[in-house]
Amino acid sequence: MKKSDVVKEILAGRRGSANPVGQAEAPANIALCKYWGKRNEELNLPITSSLSLTLDHVGARTEISQCSSGDQIFLSGERLDSDHPFANRLSRYLDLFRQGDEGYCVKTESSVPVAAGLASSASGFAATVKALDALYGWKLGSRELSILARLGSGSACRSLYSGFVEWHVGEREDGMDSYAEPLELQWPEIRLGWILVSTAHKPVGSREAMRRTRESSPLYQSWPAQVARDLAEIKAALSLRDFTRLGETVEANALAMHATMMAAQPAILYWLPDTVAVLHQVADARRQGVSVYATMDAGPNVKILYQARDQDRVVERFPQISFLCG
């Protein structure tokens, strides 16, 4: 099954009237229990479920309109050449929704660096599919939007919601049961910040890194079982408001994911010297009684998980921190 088949099935019978412009915003999200590896690359179907925390004040805003002179793609005010990786990837995604030979004018403003391991693609594709929904007047439900966003970037399916969000792995070959939905719980004291180590493009993209890890890392065979355990632990910790249990599991899950990459052939190592230094800072802060934990996506930057009551001590320990949510 192809992405175009999924789009046709979801949009069947949708005859909304086109508007001049479609606009939408979507937040970024950081996985607490990671998504790493696909069972179907064409449809971005994961090998495991995952769970994320939405970043309330960080993400993307996208405006889409039709034009007659091919795609015109702007990122943070700069028009991109058609062979730019971001423009090329977005145009291929837009091909799924074209209703003729028209082009699209897409203007995206992102508050996070692109391709630096800070979840820019998640918010970007979520905002894009919501803007398309507004442009064409489809009036799709959240589940359908989540599935369509997943076709652009797997983690984008989680950026349709606020709070804690679970992406269900699903079983169907067409992926119609692989979508995200929010958990029915709140924990307003949770805080998440980031330590920006580098904004440079990643040396290995996530898609290639996932493929290489799955195919060549001897550690990957234990990854699905670990995710199942970690996901259950994280959901239990959230339900019980057990921050230590949550933080320990989140940190261990992220480090295990990076370990599978490092064991790939050739090895995938996103860490930089400053990454290691920050991880040591986190461990040292805990030894000094500050309850903080680290998590990382596919990149060198470190996210810091803590509670509101510890914010002053966290800022003292990590003056370079930027706040993502809370």
Name the token pair of 163: 């709070």
Domains of the chain: 3-182 (3.30.230.10), 190-325 (3.30.70.890)
Lowest mean pLDDT among 82-86, 169-173, 215-219, 312-316: 82-86
- As a whole number of Å, the CA-based R_g of the chain is 20
**Region 15-42: what's the mean pLDDT?**
93
**Region 297-322: what's the mean pLDDT?**
94
**Region 225-254: what's the mean pLDDT?**
98
Percent of the chain with pLDDT over 70: 98
What predicted TM-score, i.e. pTM, was given to this entire model?
Answer: 0.93
pLDDT, one tens digit per residue, over 99-110 is: 888 899 999 998
Contact 234, 51 (CB under 8 A): yes
Closest CA to 304 of 3, 11, 13, 53: 53
User: What pLDDT, on a 0 to 100 scale, did the predictor assign at position 13?
Assistant: 83
Closest CA to 299 of 114, 57, 59: 114
pLDDT > 50? residue 116: no
Contact 267, 219 (CB under 8 A): no
User: What pLDDT, on a 0 to 100 scale, did the predictor assign at position 148?
Assistant: 98
Distance in angstroms (rounded) separating the CA atoms of residues 192 and 185 = 17
Three state DSSP letters for 283-315 = HHHHHCCCCCEEECCCCCCEEEEEEHHHHHHHH
Distance in angstroms (rounded) separating the CA atoms of residues 243 and 32 = 13
